[in-house]
Structure 1
Amino acid sequence: MAPLVREVMTLGPVTVTPDTPVPEVARVMRDKDIGAVLVVADGRLRGLVTDRDLTVRILADAQDASARTVAEACSGDVVCVAPEDDVDRAVQLMRGKALRRLPVVDDGRPVGIVTLGDVAVDQDPTCVLARISAAGPNR
């Protein structure tokens, strides 16, 4: 029997609201050493923004990033999994849609996030991706 998403996910995902300024989101990512945050309004998942989204959708425009909000950078149509889904389903979604991260939602509310690294550590702790994912932050 395949493990469940709740067994491999990272609990307590970092969240921001849609009106959070881009520089603040970037600081949160830097300070927490993460590459993505969930965008939440009224307790419900509204999007996901990655460090790449900030670069491509905001910084590449050569406009004043301090006047922009995360709502302008985030992906709104987010593919999610539930805590009770099995990891194989998460892997199929990641593979089929070329995703590196999947928010984990329970009744529309974010409860975690599962990443390629989480899956790699669970599936084969000796593989290169698992070893990289298990390493400490680059400081």
Structure 2
Amino acid sequence: MHVSDVLIPAPLSVETTTTVREAADLMREHDVGDLVVVEQGRLVGIVTDRDLVVRVLAVGGVPQDPVGQVCTGAPVVVGPDDDVQTAAQLMATHAVRRLPVVSGGEVVGIVSLGDLAVRQDAGSVLGAISQAPATS
């Protein structure tokens, strides 16, 4: 199985200058936990809901802080033709839960640990949690 079989296509992206408030609003509006961070269309990072809590709220940041200051820069990426085992290994090695999927220098999707769990073993605890609807 390839990454292209499990990825979420066309992930939401924001520029490095987008405020953390705008990023949080987008995450809430689209019910996602991460955004791809770009600069002039080039992938430079990824920001998660956890980043907003740990790197902004917990340290006295303000809603006007740019996501470029709090995102994880130079994210580990995977290609759509890579095997899902490669993606899982990259996640384990780098202790990340999400990987941008890049093809031809462009972000074409994102794959999460939950996506892999659902495809590999939907009956597993992680697979079941990943399939459950979000609670508000």
Shorter chain as denominator, the TM-score bin is over 0.9
1:111 and 2:91 are equivalent in the alignment: no
Could you say which residue in structure 1 is the equivalent of 2:35?
A: 37
Q: Using the alignment, how far apart are the partners of 1:54 and 1:38 within structure 2? A: 14
Q: How does 1:1-139 map to 2 (within 5 A)?
A: 3-63=1-61, 65-139=62-136
In structure 1, what residue type is equivalent to 2:17? D
- Ranges in structure 1 where 5+ consecutive residues have no aligned partner: none
Count how many residue pairs are aligned between Structure 1 and Structure 2. Answer: 136
In structure 2, what residue type is equivalent to 1:122? R
In structure 1, what residue type is equivalent to 2:102? V
Q: Using the alignment, how far apart are the partners of 1:35 and 1:52 within structure 2? A: 8
Structure-2-length-normalised TM-score: 0.95
- Ranges in structure 2 where 5+ consecutive residues have no aligned partner: none
In structure 2, what residue type is equivalent to 1:130? G
* Superimposed CA distance per residue, residues 17-71 of structure 1 (whole angstroms, 9 cap, x where no aligned partner): 10001101011111212111100122221100111111111112214x1231001
Q: Using the alignment, how far apart are the partners of 2:112 and 2:60 within structure 1? A: 30
Q: Using the alignment, how far apart are the partners of 1:60 and 1:134 within structure 2? A: 30
Task: Give the SS at the match of 1:38.
Answer: strand
State the identity as a percent: 48
Q: Using the alignment, how far apart are the partners of 2:86 and 2:120 within structure 1? A: 13
